Amino acid sequence: MAFGNTIRYNPTAQWLHWLMAVLIIGTRVLGYYFEDLPRGPERSSLIGWHKATGSTVLPAVAFRLAWRSFNPPPPLSATMPLLLRKITGYAFIVYYLLMILVPLAGWAESNAFGYPVKLAGVLPLPVLLEKNESLGEAFRNVHVTLAWAFGILIAGHAAAALKHHFVDRDDTLARMLPNHGKKQK
């Protein structure tokens, strides 16, 4: 593994990747945990944290997309089969769509049930929908279904990165890790 010579994502892209990972996984864990709790202060508090962290995903992904448009990622390894490179490209499109659609569906769900959403739990966001409980149920189903699909995609992403690192012994994972002062190509 020639990690010292790896063409890496730039430090800002790396930071944004890991920030998004923490936000999205943390938000999903909170959502999974409160699903089975009875109504009460603990559940309400966790829902508040879930909405506060989930609402930060939208501006973070907007910044990430803007950054990426001016700072394209390094090319995938030429040793990777063409079909796998194409699948990887499509998977990243799906990641970005889910980073937008999951929080939007959650925001719409909250509004349809009559609850406001605040960016990071502080700044009130506009109301997308007036209260309509049947619409709230529909958006809850969309939100939960997309969140589960995203969780599965993230697990696959992590498994693929670990496979590349430990089985293929290539530099795919190293591209998203800090350089520690080693010279880049």
DSSP assignments along 83-147, one per residue: HHHHHHHHHHHHHHHHHHHHHHHHHHHHHHTT---EETTTEEPPP-S---HHHHHHHHHHHHHHH
User: What is the arithmetic mean of pLDDT over 29-42?
Assistant: 92
Separation between Cα atoms, residue 108 and residue 99, nearest integer Å? 15
What does the pLDDT read at residue 81?
A: 87
What does the pLDDT read at residue 5?
A: 54
What does the pLDDT read at residue 4?
A: 47
The CA–CA distances, whole Å, from 50 to 113, 134, 167 equal 16, 22, 36
When pLDDT is cut at 50, 70 and 90, the band that residue 180 belongs to is low
Dihedral, 185, 69, 145, 152 alpha carbons, nearest 10: 0
CATH of 3-176, one of 1.10.260.40, 3.40.50.300, 1.20.950.20, 3.30.360.10: 1.20.950.20
User: What is the arithmetic mean of pLDDT over 62-66?
Assistant: 96
| 3-state secondary structure at position 38 | coil
Answer yes or no: is pLDDT of 1 > 50.
Answer: no
Percent of the chain with pLDDT over 70: 94
The CA–CA distances, whole Å, from 116 to 69, 119, 123 equal 32, 10, 10
User: What is the arithmetic mean of pLDDT over 6-25?
Assistant: 92
**Residues 98-143 pLDDT 10s:** 999 999 999 999 999 999 999 999 999 999 999 999 999 999 999 9
Nearest CA-CA partner of 92 in 122, 68, 60 = 68
Q: What angle do CA 74, 24, 126 make, to 5 degrees?
A: 110
Neighbours of 150 (CB within 10 A): 19
What does the pLDDT read at residue 79?
A: 78
Average pLDDT, the chain: 91
